[in-house]
Amino acid sequence: MMTDRDSSARGTDNRTLMLEEDDFESWKIQMERYIRGKTNGKYMWKAIQTGNSPRPQVTDQPTEAVLHPIAREKTDDEYTDAENFKEQFDIQVAGILSQGLPRHIFNILNRTSTAKEI
């Protein structure tokens, strides 16, 4: 089992700062620095500010049975590399933000679906 001392010896990259309810501004600044310091952190921070991207859509071509093109959400197999890359940012950012929240706040926000909502 890893102790706090072991965790500190390994560095702070494995642990985000816990939000204290009366010090949101300081937490926000430190979370921004933490996230921007990660690989591709600039894009992660942008994902927080702009919110998750809508799921990519594709238009199926008309068939004999269906006369008009139908738009639908892409399946994961149909995603491009860029779309997969962007979705990974959304997932990573939501995870990082969730780690920095006290349990009672996390439980409330667990009902959200985007990093921007958090």
pLDDT for res 59: 87
pLDDT for res 11: 54
88 vs 19, 65, 68, 108, CA distance in Å? Answer: 24, 37, 33, 23
Q: Is 54 helix (H, G, I), strand (E, B) or coil?
A: coil
pLDDT for res 33: 92
**For residue 89, is it within any domain?**
yes
Total tally of structural domains belonging to the chain: 1
**For residue 3, is it within any domain?**
no
pLDDT for res 113: 67
Alpha-carbon dihedral of residues 30, 35, 39, 42, nearest 10 degrees?
-110
pTM of the model: 0.65
Q: Is 72 helix (H, G, I), strand (E, B) or coil?
A: strand
**For residue 101, is it within any domain?**
yes
**For residue 9, is it within any domain?**
no
Are residues 112 and 54 in contact, defined by beta-carbon separation less than 8 angstroms?
A: no
pLDDT in tens, the chain (118 residues): 445 555 555 555 566 778 888 888 999 999 999 999 988 889 888 888 888 778 888 888 777 776 788 888 988 899 999 999 888 888 888 888 888 888 888 888 778 766 666 6
Closest residue by Cα to residue 19 from 104, 117, 110, 94: 104
**For residue 2, is it within any domain?**
no
CA contacts within 13 A on the Cβ side of 49: 10
Structural domain span for residue 95: 23-109
Q: Is 100 helix (H, G, I), strand (E, B) or coil?
A: coil
